[in-house]
Amino acid sequence: MNKELIEALDVLEKEKDISKDTLLEAIENSLITACRNHFGKADNAKVTINRDTGDFQVIMEKTVVEEVTDPVCEISLEAAQNKDSRYTLGDVVQVEVQSKQFGRIATMNAKNVILQKIREEERKSLFNQYFDKEKTVITGVVQRQNGKNYTINIGKLDALLVEKEQVRNEVLHPNDRIKLYVLEVKDTTKGPRVMVSRTHPELVKKLFESEVTEAREGIVEIVSISREAGSRTKMAVRSNDPDVDPVGACVGINGSRVNAVVSELNGEKIDIINWSDNPAILIENALSPAKVVSVMADPDEKTAKVVVPDYQLSLAIGKEGQNARLAARLTGFKIDIKSESQAREAEDWYDDYEDEYYDDEYYDDDEFFDEDFDFDEDTENEIEEPSDEEFAETMTE
């Protein structure tokens, strides 16, 4: 039986990651509890267990007295000398207690002590295992839908994907394998509770770090992310190596790396831009794919005024303001966007701004700038501005 006990403890240690020493300690405590339940007290009881063979002894230390008043703690001189004639009054005698003496109730209580310890250690082991996964990305399998929430199996336990952490219009089916960002791991009386998310911006960052070697090694740094889950994400990156293009590294050959992330996010669009410490350049990049004429940024107030070509205004703002909204979150600036026509009408729009930035590439690019708006080199007078119909015809051509 003792050999079977050790084998059972080995199995528990392997399957539930509970230390054998902890389990043996629980058995020792259960035997002490059985003594207490059987004899009424166990202050003088000791339990020893051989860690290799499983053999155990329950010993009670009793004081030698002339007249026994407490048989649990005392032993008569005659009884002590029957064990060893050298015992005298006041000596302490170790008396072995046979566990078979314990009653049914004491035995059941001892069993419950062991089972309770096993449950506590299993819960603690699971918590420690999954607490290390907090703020990381894990793979889970959809189990079932409970109301508006999903139960996701992540190995030895289930995680909870609540409604607010789900991507809108994303339909999950049982047995679907999905990537999840671990928001929090709590230790509760019912065991560890793991909260996961499909909408957190860090999910995108971690997915890129798993796909992009340069990001994982710290060569390419993902500085900022703004995301509207299921629709679009903007991500600003920079390189710590002048020979490495951060955007190209994240996109990959033929878009292989970014496409892998997009596929995991079920087609969510991802804009990757270069980070700049110059807020005006950063804002221009963040408004991509729209072209920008000029940016005036106030770093102290965290506000910026942006001028875009008339025909680029809707693109800069985006559908339902999404492009401008994501750019503002990405940069941390409150961005006010106007077309060139609107900017001309607001004469004081450029006043009191210290950091003004013009996109020279825009003015040098024939695709976006017509020579009819240039200046005469000899007279330095502005050539007559074309009518709206002529401008529209020029842009069409």
The total domain count for the chain is 4
Nearest-10 Cα torsion for 82, 86, 90, 94: -60
Does residue 264 lie in a domain region? yes
Residues 179 and 209 placed together within one structural domain of the fold: no
Residues 215 and 113 placed together within one structural domain of the fold: no
Give me the domain span that covers residue 148.
Answer: 133-198
Does residue 212 lie in a domain region? yes
Look up the CATH number of the domain holding residue 232.
Answer: 3.30.300.20
Residues 267 and 299 placed together within one structural domain of the fold: no
Among residues 233, 257, 275, which one ends one of the domains?
275
Does residue 266 lie in a domain region? yes
Q: Is the pTM of this model over 0.75?
A: no
Residues 328 and 346 placed together within one structural domain of the fold: yes
pLDDT per residue as tens, the chain (397 positions): 467 777 777 887 787 778 888 888 888 888 888 888 877 888 888 888 877 777 788 888 888 888 888 888 888 888 888 888 888 888 888 888 877 666 676 667 777 877 888 888 888 888 888 999 999 999 999 999 988 999 999 998 899 999 999 998 898 999 999 999 999 999 888 888 999 999 999 999 999 999 999 999 999 999 999 999 999 999 999 999 999 999 999 999 999 999 999 999 999 999 999 999 999 999 999 999 999 999 999 999 999 999 999 999 999 999 999 999 999 999 999 999 999 888 888 765 544 433 455 555 544 443 333 333 333 333 334 334 445 444 344 333 3
Among residues 86, 110, 130, which one ends one of the domains?
130
Look up the CATH number of the domain holding residue 6.
Answer: 3.30.1480.10
User: Could you tell me if 186 and 159 are in contact, meaning their C-beta atoms sit under 8 angstroms apart?
Assistant: no
- In sequence order, the 6+-apart residues with CB closer than 8 A to the CB of 238 are 220, 221, 223, 246, 274, 275
> Strand, helix or coil at 358?
strand
Angstrom distances, CA of residue 121 to CA of 9, 125, 188, 192, 239:
13, 6, 13, 12, 46
In residues, how long is the chain?
A: 397
| φ, ψ for residue 309, nearest 5 deg | -60, 150
CA distance 315 to 334: 18
Does residue 160 lie in a domain region? yes
pLDDT for res 292: 93
